[in-house]
Each structure stands twice: as C-alpha cells, then as structure tokens.
C-alpha cells in the first residue's frame, strides 16, 4: 500500500484531496481578546454538545464502548452530540498516524506539501467516518 507502480498512495489520492476545504492563514495576528472570545465560544458549544443526548439512544444500555477509558481516549461523552462531532476526527487521526508511522502510507511529515496532503487525507477520512456514523 506504500506505493503503486512507483506512485505513493497519497499522490494517487491528490485529485480528491484538492477538493477538501482549507482555512487560509490569517493575514494578521488576532488580538488576545478575540482569541479568548472564540476559545470561550468553542468551549461553550462543546460543553453544550456534551450534555445534549442523542435521540433514540438509551444512556443506560451497557456496552463495551461505554468504557470510561475509551471515552477519555476519544475525548467524548457517549450518547451525546459531542460524540458525533469529535469521534470521526479523533479516530481518523489515530488510524492515519498508525498507517504513516508503520510505513503503510509513505508520507514525509517534514515536507510542507506532504503535510498539506496528510491534513487533507485526515479531513477526507473524518468525513467518511462521520457519514458512516450518521448512517449507523
């Protein structure tokens, strides 16, 4: 999987990865007040999502996945909106890092171009996991 006929997997995926949305770097540094405001807003939204239960799920259903250890690794509260928001991103990151560091996907994370491709692949995989989670 590291290479296909001399081409790397990440290079084969590049046409799809170009479609992933990116956030440009800011032209000027944000002030501390602005940073604090947006951080406070993001934390507030996350906390509200972590206490809002998903419709149709019983919070008392015993399951292996309700383990507190797994919840702390994934950074989620099971059965809430936060689970749908952060789980695909965390799982995609873990899977991609395992694939890269085991050399199953050949990516040079020191190269800025490969870093951009890696981040785009992470976004794509997170979107796929989010869609699979929504279907389930």
Domain that holds residue 41: 31-135
Higher-pLDDT residue of 108, 74: 108
Task: Decide if pLDDT at 65 tops 70.
Answer: no
Specify the number of domains making up the chain.
1
Residue 83 located in a structural domain: yes
pLDDT-based confidence at 15, cuts 50/70/90?
Answer: confident
Pick the range with the lowest mean pLDDT from 44-48, 84-88, 95-99, 109-113.
Answer: 84-88
How far is it, in rounded angstroms, from Cα 112 to Cα 95?
Answer: 21
Residue 23 located in a structural domain: no
Higher-pLDDT residue of 135, 120: 120
């Amino acid at each position: 999987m590291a290479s296909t006929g001399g081409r790397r997997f990440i290079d084969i995926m590049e046409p799809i990865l170009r479609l992933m949305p990116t956030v440009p770097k800011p032209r000027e540094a944000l002030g501390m007040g602005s940073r604090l405001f947006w951080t406070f807003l993001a934390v507030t939204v996350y906390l509200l999502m972590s206490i809002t239960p998903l419709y149709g799920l019983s919070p008392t259903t015993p399951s292996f996945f309700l383990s507190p250890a797994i919840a702390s690794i994934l950074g989620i509260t099971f059965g809430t909106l936060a689970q749908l928001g952060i789980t695909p991103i965390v799982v995609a990151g873990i899977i991609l890092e395992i694939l890269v560091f085991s050399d199953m996907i050949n990516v040079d994370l020191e190269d800025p171009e490969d870093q951009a491709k890696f981040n785009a692949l992470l976004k794509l995989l997170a979107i796929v996991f989010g869609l699979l989670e929504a279907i389930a």
